[in-house]
Structure 1
Amino acid sequence: MEAWVKVSVIIPVYNVEKYLGDCLDSLLLQTLREIEIICVDDGATDSSPRILDEYARKDSRLKVIHQKNAGAGAARNQGVAQARGEYIGFVDSDDVVYPTMYEELYRKASSSRADMVITGEVETAAGDPIQFPIENFKKASKVLELDRFNAVDYPSIIKNVFLWNRIYRRTFWLEHRFQIPEGRRFAEDLLICTQTSVLAERIGYVRGPLYWYRNERENSLSDTLAKSSKKLDYITAVKETKKFLQATGKYPVFQQDFLVFATHLFAMLQSKIADYDHFYEFFSGMERLLDEYDLNALEKTWIRDAYPHVLHTLKHKNFRTHYCKNRIRSILHIK
């Protein structure tokens, strides 16, 4: 008879030999012993596959799946298909988790019978914690202190779009047939995190930090966007997410938080694009997503003061002028 697994931790692995050992050690040292660690080797070409096999020989809780390169989304989906745990979680293969992370998340999940449990603060390699945006702190504090809540109680949760700072009840995931988008290098978390947050009837919260995010990685988010042919993954993800929210009939509840998150991320990323054709395609794609109703809603948020040039461009479609100003700012190192 197989041992009861409380949490299955799924790790997509691709060419991370430098950091992989630290990640695996942090998981094997978890105070929650009833875990399985499912590592999906996504066709890595460095020593990562060998490292995985060596760890698997030493600890039976670690399982390795070798597959041809298909991307992180496909690797995560493969891991979910093999998972046996009551709950599932995801870790990036160059990050590290605190020893008590899964014990604390699982304890909260069990006591509140939650579909999902999330931690709201993440430590970074640079030493600065990521604290997820909370516009109305008093309201958020009251909600997050509840034994459990849902996304309607706390709409700002949809701005927390990282798979690795949470666990999901596996039957909840399977009942809704969730699938992480495949074939993308960017923004693959956005849709799935929104879907799971909105559809979860019971959400639990645990104070962090419990996760250590290596934000000094090579191929950072902005570098990937600037160099990759997958630049429009972001636009695709935002479009799919908006369509999902509208289909639930709850878009008005989440509209402001969704728009603030999307525009804030967009404003940070568009300044990294050096080529005008890509800039135009990226910006016009964003413009098509936001109707007058959305733009008017943004005018009532802090986005209006933080990124007035972005809102002006989206309204008036003067892309070339905005592109030229962006390039000048970049050359002169002006924010």
Structure 2
Amino acid sequence: MAQPSVSAPSTVRRLGSKPRLSVVVPFYGVENYIGDCLESIRVQHLSDIEVIMVDDGSPDGSRSVAEAYAAQDPRFRVVTRENGGLGPARNTGTEHAAGEYLTFVDSDDLVTRHGFSRMIEALDTTGSSFVGGNARRFNNSSGVKPSWAQLHAFARTRFATHVFDHPVLARDRMVWNKVYRRDFWDEFGYEFPAIRYEDYPVTLKAHLDAVTVDILSQPVYYWRERESGDSITQQVFRYDNLLDRVRSASMVVDLVAAAPKPVRLRTHVMLAESDFVSIVQAFATATEDECYQLIDLGHELVERLGIDALQQRTRYDQLQYHAMLARDVELLRELAVFRRDGGLRGGARAFKVPRSLGRYEYAYPGHGRSYLPKDVFLSPAKDLALRTTVNAVRWEDDGLHVRAVAEVRHLPTGADSSLRVFAVSSAIREQVPVRRFEDVDSHGQLAYCGFEMVIDRATLARWGAAEAPVRFDLQLSSGGARRNGLLRGLRPGSATFPEGGFLTDQLWVQPSSNRSGELLLSWHVAPWTITAGEVDGDDLVLTARAPRPLQVAQFVLPGNRYAEDLRYPATCRIDGGATHLIGRIPLSEVAARTDDDDPFLRITTRGIQVRAGGKHHPLLWDAGRRSVISRVGDNQFRLTRSAAGYANLWESAVRLVADSAELDGPDLVVRGRSLAADGDWVLSWRRYLPGTEDYVEVAATSVTGTDWTVRVPVADLLDVEGVPHEVDPLASLVTWTLFSTSAENDLSTAVLPETLLVSRLPLVCTGDRRRGTLRPHGDTLQVDVRFDVPATAARAPQSGGK
């Protein structure tokens, strides 16, 4: 937990003037989180703020943390009230706020360093009523990921817009990623209701009342996902929680009753997608008495939403809707359990309807009930599409190996299926030999869907001679269906961080993915490369290779809107006809002139370029399989590469870094480096127990130097309870995350997987009918344990066809 520093940032506020921004932070029972939240606010780029911390009758030590900030920073103050819930606490904070602008922060979340200044800058420019920014979800065991709640509404930056112009904004239901003009807030008298899910009625009404709003696609807010699952939004299936959902939804439906139809429909669909599904899924665990309460609650909601909204949802949602209308508790429970247990993974399996012409239906529960419309089971032709995943992209002695899966969605892939793969570009279309074998399909069943391409270096060089990017076109015939499409769906590991390299002295090939998620081979002719890096005190010494002789050059670290470009001279040396560039980058200066915008990992990434002849040249990574790491003060630097193969300099908080992983007999061995000041850490594989913050650990290992090794018997990770799941064979049993814990202050953080390690994953270990897969997940290293699908011998290689 963060503690306030002794000296607070200076403010630019004049004595007696009101602050530019009031930040309202209600708190209750968040002793373990509030310090990090307040610290992320304290270090804001915008210093002219006031922070009203509202103690909502908190029963733990949260108030002590808040009072420590108030004692050391005059911008912070504590307001006390009796416990009444988050909404009333926000209202209390608003009453005490005096700023020109107003924002709300939940006390277990974080805000980005530049988030407030970005949003106020937008409002100052456009004059809009309020502004909202994108968000990320995070926790210590899963890293950082996009937030589902903002996925659609904040996909694009839009200034001076409105929900009537862009109805997708009706999906925006959170209050905390926004800054409001205080006079706009007071003009319409917004107040939060004393219920859970109090955000949506206020947020949507503000969208409707606003003259214009600004939408920023950049993240301004980090939304915590508790490991324990004890936050309000994670207790979704309790009846009192669902009752508040329906109360909130009813307020929202009333708000849009007179809105244009596109806005009204978007809002109703959003409620059907989240609130209705939460109600019907509660049947999986509800008691018999609760089931009838849930039916009444569900009827109340669907009567408000109407059939149009449900018809916009999936056929499975519609099936649950009809079961709800019929008050069929038995089917509602069966449907909820089927979905909860993974029956929709990849979409349920489809089967051909006897005596029909190309008609397929899903194997959902409920077949045979006469009151159900037949079309809720229908599998549309568009659902039976080609599905591909790329599991690995690796170099071997004989060339580039691409291992993937191809299937027609929802149909079993048999040995009688056929697959042809073509390398395609603007210059070529050439069939590629494939080896086919049995692999696990999207339904967790063993099928003849796996294939591997081995492309030798000579073929790659021939394709690269045209310098046109190459993709892979698949033609699959399976189960009476013929489908074709491009190979896409790269899974975390070597597929997302594949290695590139020289095919000839002048031609480099780089596997990667494009914006559509397709596997792509790109070519670089006579590239500029980084060949070595080493640490000398606080300096990073770089060696690069230029494709032509030079006399004057600079290493450049490009900046952004908050940090300027950094330039350092390079010495040019010609050796054996090759031009080498050597430069020294003072990391202390980089640290002093970097302004990160990541409140969780504090990661800032800068590309490394060479400026020569008036142009900037990015550097491809050709410096081996181990990054270069160094520490300067509280900052850790890593010289490594990006997913596209370019050299990067990563700056972050000090974390242990994993460099390699291997199976050594019965053990899983992970090695890495530590730059921690105390040099005394304990590493362990940790998994959290559902519904608590308790966890189980294995393989505790002390770290006493800069290099560390953690060795654990694979059996210890795979030895977990469970039985094979009939509905979802791919169901995860447990997930282990590699953690490091400081012996000095008992602080635990997830170990960072080095990107050069990621390029050699996944790593699979098996035992006792279980399979553990070591993969990167966000910025963590995890072992996911599932039941193993029984393997059979791979089929013999077959070129082209079957």
TM-score range, shorter chain: 0.7 to 0.9
SS at match of 1:211: strand
Pair 96,292 (structure 1): closer, same or farther in 2 beyond 3 Å: closer
Select 1:14's aligned residue among 28, 33, 44: 28
AA in 2 matched with 1:199: D
Counterparts of 1:88 and 1:292 in 2: how far apart (Å)? 33
Are 1:96 and 2:76 an aligned pair? no
Aligned-pair distance for 1:231? 2.8
* Counterpart for residue 308 of structure 2: 296
The share of aligned pairs that are identical, in percent, is 24
SS at match of 1:148: strand
Counterparts of 2:64 and 2:290 in 1: how far apart (Å)? 39
Pair 319,5 (structure 1): closer, same or farther in 2 beyond 3 Å: farther
More deviation, 222-231/116-125: 222-231
Counterparts of 1:129 and 1:331 in 2: how far apart (Å)? 23
* Counterpart for residue 130 of structure 1: 147
Counterparts of 2:304 and 2:21 in 1: how far apart (Å)? 45
SS at match of 2:237: helix
Are 1:320 and 2:329 an aligned pair? yes
Counterparts of 1:191 and 1:40 in 2: how far apart (Å)? 22
Pair 45,134 (structure 1): closer, same or farther in 2 beyond 3 Å: closer
* Counterpart for residue 282 of structure 1: 294
* Counterpart for residue 134 of structure 2: 120
Is the CA contact 2:40–2:113 (under 8 Å) kept in the aligned structure 1?
yes
* Counterpart for residue 254 of structure 2: 243
1:22-171 to 2 correspondence within 5 Å?
Answer: 22-125=36-139, 126=142, 127-131=144-148, 132-134=150-152, 141=156, 144-145=157-158, 147-171=159-183
* Counterpart for residue 264 of structure 1: 273
> What do you get for the CA RMSD once the two structures are aligned?
2.4
Pair 191,227 (structure 1): closer, same or farther in 2 beyond 3 Å: same
Summarize deviations over 1:178-217 as a string: whole Å, max 9, x none: 11011x2x21112111111111111011222121111125
Select 1:205's aligned residue among 215, 229, 237: 215
Are 1:216 and 2:210 an aligned pair? no
More deviation, 118-127/9-18: 118-127
Summarize deviations over 1:274-315 as a string: whole Å, max 9, x none: 22433433343332343498213432x2x133523223235x
TM-score, length of structure 2 as denominator length? 0.38
Is the CA contact 1:295–1:311 (under 8 Å) kept in the aligned structure 2?
no
Pair 47,121 (structure 1): closer, same or farther in 2 beyond 3 Å: closer
Is the CA contact 1:123–1:210 (under 8 Å) kept in the aligned structure 2?
no
Aligned-pair distance for 1:159? 1.1
Q: Normalized per residue, which structure has more helix?
A: 1
Select 2:205's aligned residue among 185, 188, 195: 195
Counterparts of 2:340 and 2:146 in 1: how far apart (Å)? 30
Is the CA contact 1:122–1:208 (under 8 Å) kept in the aligned structure 2?
no
Is the CA contact 1:122–1:213 (under 8 Å) kept in the aligned structure 2?
yes
Summarize deviations over 1:92-124 as a string: whole Å, max 9, x none: 101111100100011001111111101134343
* Counterpart for residue 178 of structure 1: 190
Whose radius of gyration is greater, 1 or 2? Answer: 2
More deviation, 122-131/169-178: 122-131
Counterparts of 2:205 and 2:180 in 1: how far apart (Å)? 12
Are 1:309 and 2:319 an aligned pair? yes
Counterparts of 2:305 and 2:239 in 1: how far apart (Å)? 32
Counterparts of 1:54 and 1:293 in 2: how far apart (Å)? 48
Counterparts of 2:307 and 2:211 in 1: how far apart (Å)? 30
SS at match of 2:26: strand
Pair 331,103 (structure 1): closer, same or farther in 2 beyond 3 Å: closer
More deviation, 1-10/237-246: 1-10
Aligned-pair distance for 1:49? 1.0
Aligned-pair distance for 1:133? 4.5
More deviation, 28-37/149-158: 149-158
Aligned-pair distance for 1:11? 0.7
Pair 323,133 (structure 1): closer, same or farther in 2 beyond 3 Å: same
Counterparts of 2:304 and 2:218 in 1: how far apart (Å)? 38
Are 1:255 and 2:264 an aligned pair? yes
Counterparts of 1:235 and 1:320 in 2: how far apart (Å)? 20
Aligned-pair distance for 1:327? 5.4
Summarize deviations over 1:112-160 as a string: whole Å, max 9, x none: 111110113434333211153439x9xx75xx43x31111011121211
Is the CA contact 1:313–1:319 (under 8 Å) kept in the aligned structure 2?
yes
SS at match of 2:245: helix
Unaligned stretches of 5+ residues in structure 2: 1-14, 345-802
Pair 60,19 (structure 1): closer, same or farther in 2 beyond 3 Å: same
AA in 1 matched with 2:199: D
TM-score, length of structure 1 as denominator length? 0.88
Is the CA contact 1:280–1:319 (under 8 Å) kept in the aligned structure 2?
no
Pair 286,93 (structure 1): closer, same or farther in 2 beyond 3 Å: same
Is the CA contact 2:253–2:268 (under 8 Å) kept in the aligned structure 1?
no
Aligned length: 322
Is the CA contact 1:13–1:39 (under 8 Å) kept in the aligned structure 2?
yes
Pair 69,216 (structure 1): closer, same or farther in 2 beyond 3 Å: same
Is the CA contact 1:161–1:193 (under 8 Å) kept in the aligned structure 2?
yes
SS at match of 1:209: strand
Pair 157,306 (structure 1): closer, same or farther in 2 beyond 3 Å: farther
Is the CA contact 1:96–1:212 (under 8 Å) kept in the aligned structure 2?
yes
Structure number with the bigger relative contact order (C-alpha 8 A, sep ≥ 6) is: 1
Unaligned stretches of 5+ residues in structure 1: none
AA in 2 matched with 1:188: E
Is the CA contact 1:159–1:258 (under 8 Å) kept in the aligned structure 2?
yes
Summarize deviations over 1:73-105 as a string: whole Å, max 9, x none: 111000111111111111110111110010001
Aligned-pair distance for 1:264? 0.9
